[in-house]
Amino acid sequence: MTSRRSFLQTLSAPVWALPFVTPSNDEKYHEGKVLRVALIGLGSYASRVAEAMKDSKRAVVAGLVSGTPSKLVSWGAKYNVSASNCYNYETVDQIRNNSDIDAVYIITPNALHKDMAIRMAKAGKHVIVEKPMALNAKEAEEMVNACKKAGVQLLVGYRMHFEPKTLEIIRMRNAGEFGNVKFFQGLCGFRIGDPKQWRLNRALAGGGSMMDIGIYAVNGARYLIGEEPTWVTAQETKTDFVKFAEGVDETIQFQLGFPSGAVASCLSTYSMNNLDRFFLNGEKGFAELQPSTGYGPIKGRTNKGELQFPHITHQTIQMDEFAAILLDGKKPLVAVDGEEGLRDMRIIDALYTAVKSGKRVSLK
Amino acid sequence: MTSRRSFLQTLSAPVWALPFVTPSNDEKYHEGKVLRVALIGLGSYASRVAEAMKDSKRAVVAGLVSGTPSKLVSWGAKYNVSASNCYNYETVDQIRNNSDIDAVYIITPNALHKDMAIRMAKAGKHVIVEKPMALNAKEAEEMVNACKKAGVQLLVGYRMHFEPKTLEIIRMRNAGEFGNVKFFQGLCGFRIGDPKQWRLNRALAGGGSMMDIGIYAVNGARYLIGEEPTWVTAQETKTDFVKFAEGVDETIQFQLGFPSGAVASCLSTYSMNNLDRFFLNGEKGFAELQPSTGYGPIKGRTNKGELQFPHITHQTIQMDEFAAILLDGKKPLVAVDGEEGLRDMRIIDALYTAVKSGKRVSLK
C-alpha cells in the first residue's frame, strides 16, 4: 500500500500516466482523502459510472438514490452501500445529515437535474450533474447560483475534458502547434432505439438529439477552438414525425462563429449511423478524433502522426479528477464547473432559437 | 498499332480499366475518330489540360486561342499546332471555317465564359467550358439555349465525374450498398496566394471561393447523394477584408437539404490549409474521399474497405470521355452537360442569396 505522501505525489502526474491498478474501496478509504459519492438516478449511465468507479483511485460509490426500492437493494449489495446510505426521492434531503457522503452525482433524466441540484446544494453536498446540466440556461443559472449560495461546488460530467488524446490536442493548440485555428467540425450522432425512452420525451429531455449528443459538438467546438462563439446558426431536418415529436429534434446542422474568425460546422442527429468525428484545422496543422466522444477508446491523429495514449475508461478518470478538484482544489485544463455547463446551455438555447427563427443568433 | 475495330471494342470498358499507353498525336489521328480541341485561354489550368491531353487516347490539342501572341507561338511549338489553327479574341470567330477543330475548351476567367461559349456555339463548334460554367444561372441558361439553338453540345469540365473512386461510390450508392443516404459532408478549400489573381477579382470571378472550390462540394453533394437539393442555407465569414473585397467570399459554410431528408454540410474557403474531404453516410454504410477533388490521386474508403483503382490524370480521362460523349453519343454515369452545370449555378445563386438574407432559400 502506498503512503499518503507518495500517493499525493503521484497526483501531480496526470491520471492517465499513472500505473494502473484497481484499488478496493477499503484500500481507497485507507488512503485518506477519497471522494464519497452518492449516485442519484440508477439508470444505465449510472451503472456505467458505478462500474467505472470500481477502478477509481479516489472516488467511491458511498450512497444511492432511486425511486425504485428493489434497485437500492440490488445496487447496495453490488457496490457495498449500506441501507443507511440509500435514499429515495422523498428522503434524499436527509442526506444533509450523512457524513459518509461528500458529493452527489445526478444522473436522472435532464428535467430533474435542476431541482435535485438545488436540493443537494441546500443539503450541503457538492453537486456533480450529468450533461446537459439542465433543460436550458435559465435553469443552469439557478443551479450555479444555488451552489454558490450554499458554498458547494457544482461540476458537470464532461468526461472528454479528461480524455488524454483530447487533452493532447488542446495542449498542442495552446502551444501554437496548429497555428491559428480556423475550423472545427463535429459530427455527433447515432440511431436512437426504443421510442419510449425518456430521451425522446420532450418534457423529460428538454429537446432531442441536441441535448444528448449534439452537446458534444458544442462543447468540443469550444474546447478545441479555445474560444467562445459569438454567433450561431442552425437548421433542423425531421424525417420521422412519430418517433421525434414536436420539440424533439431528430437532426440539427449548426454552425458557430468565433471572435478570431474561426468557424465550426456541426451535426447533431438521432437518425444516422454512428457519427463520432471531430476535426480541427489550423494554419499550421490539424487534428482529428474518430471516435471522438464515444465511451470506448478514442482514436486520433494530428499533422504529426497518430496520438498514442492508453485507453482508460473515461468515467474512471473523470471521477478521479473530480475528486482532485473537489478535495484538493485542482484546476483542470478545461473547466468542468457549472459556469462551463452554463456556457453550453446558453449556446444550445441560441441554437434552438436559431432553428425556430431561421436566423443567425448572436451570443453575448 | 491497334486496329480501329479492336480500339473501339476497348472503349466499351471504362477508360481507367484500359492498359495505359501514351499515344502520339499522329497515332491518334490514324485511329480515326478523335476529338480535335481548341483551347481558349492559355493560363495555368489550360497548361495542365494540354499536358494531360498528351496521354489522351481520343482527344488532341488542335487549336489555340489567346490574347497573347507569344503564347500562341510557344504553345503552338510545344503542342504541334500550326499557326493557321491559332486565334486571338478578335479572330476566334473565324474558327467556324476551320474543319480541323471539332470543339473548343474555354478555360478563361469565369466572366468570359458566357460570351465565348455563345460565340463558339454560333461558330458551330461543340463547347466545353471549365467550371463554374458562368457567373450565375442566368448566364448559364443563355449558354445552354445558345448551344441548343446552334445544334452543338455543351459540356462542363467536371473532371470528378470520371474519377474511378468517385464513380465506384456512386455505383455502390445506386446498388443500395449504403442503404438510404442520410448525410454528405464536403470540405473544400485552400489558402489562396497572389492577391492580384483574377480569382480574387469580383468582376472576373463572379465571387470568391464558392465559385472556384466551393462548387466541388455543391456538385459532390449532388452526385454522391444522388438527389437535387430543395433548400440551402449559408453563412459567410470574412477575416481578411483587403484580400477578399466586397463580393469576393473568403469562407462560406453552407447546408443543403434534399427531398429524402438527407442533408449536406459543406465548407468553401480560400483561407484554410488544404481541405479536401468528402464524407457520405448512409443507413447501411459510408464512403469517404480524402483527397476528394484534388488533382493528384484520390484516396477513398467505404465501409467495405479501401477503394483500389489506379490513378490516371483526371484531365486525361475527362478528355477521353468527352470525346466519347461528343463523337459517339456516350452517356456518362453522371451528367456533364450544360444542364448539369446550370443546376450548380442555380444552387450557387441561392447560396449567395442565403448569405445575404441570412435565411433559408428554397430551390424549385
Residues of B in contact with A233 (CB under 8 A): 233, 235, 358
CA distance A252 to chain B (A): 10
DSSP-derived secondary structure letter, B210: I
Class of domain B4-158: alpha beta
Q: Per residue in B289-330, pLDDT tens? A: 999 999 999 999 999 999 999 999 999 999 999 999 999 999
Is the Cβ pair A261, B237 closer than 8 Å?
yes
CA distance B259 to chain A (A): 10
Ramachandran region, residue A112 (left: φ > 0; alpha: ψ -120 to 50; beta: rest): alpha
pLDDT on residue A364: 81
Of all residues in chain A, the one with the smallest CA distance to B241 is: A261
Same fold, B4-158 and B160-311+338-362: no
Identity of the amino acid at B334: V
Output B5 or A156, whichever has higher pLDDT. A156
A242 touches B at CB < 8 Å: no
A301 touches B at CB < 8 Å: no
Look up the CATH architecture of domain B160-311+338-362.
2-Layer Sandwich (3.30)
Q: Residue ranges per domain, chain B? A: 4-158, 160-311+338-362
Of all residues in chain B, the one with the smallest CA distance to A180 is: B272
Average pLDDT of the residues of chain B: 93
Look up the CATH architecture of domain A4-159.
3-Layer(aba) Sandwich (3.40)
For A201-264, the DSSP string reads -HHHHSSSHIIIIIHHHHHHHHHHH-S--SEEEEEEE-S-TTTS-TT--SEEEEEEE-TTS-EE
CA distance A45 to chain B (A): 26
Identity of the amino acid at A109: P
- Do residues A208 and A288 touch, judged by C-beta distance below 8 A? no
Is the Cβ pair A185, B185 closer than 8 Å?
yes
CA distance A283 to chain B (A): 6
Report chain B's C-alpha Rg in angstroms.
20
Q: Looking at the DSSP assignment, which residues form a beta bridge with residue B252?
A: B236, B268
Q: Which of B222, B263, B264, B254 shows the shortest CA–CA distance to B349?
A: B254
CB atoms within 10 A of CB A42: 20
B192 touches A at CB < 8 Å: no
- Do residues A212 and A109 touch, judged by C-beta distance below 8 A? no
Of all residues in chain B, the one with the smallest CA distance to A358 is: B359
Q: Looking at the DSSP assignment, which residues form a beta bridge with residue A37?
A: A61, A103
Look up the CATH architecture of domain A160-312+338-362.
2-Layer Sandwich (3.30)
Mean pLDDT per 10-residue interval, chain A, length 364 residues: 40 44 55 87 98 97 98 98 98 98 98 98 98 98 98 98 98 98 98 96 98 98 98 97 97 98 98 95 97 98 97 97 96 97 98 97 94
Q: What is the pTM of this model?
A: 0.90
Of all residues in chain A, the one with the smallest CA distance to B360 is: A358
pLDDT band at B25 (very low <50, low <70, confident <90, very high): low
Is the Cβ pair A253, B267 closer than 8 Å?
no
- Give the pairing type, strands B126-129 and B154-156: parallel
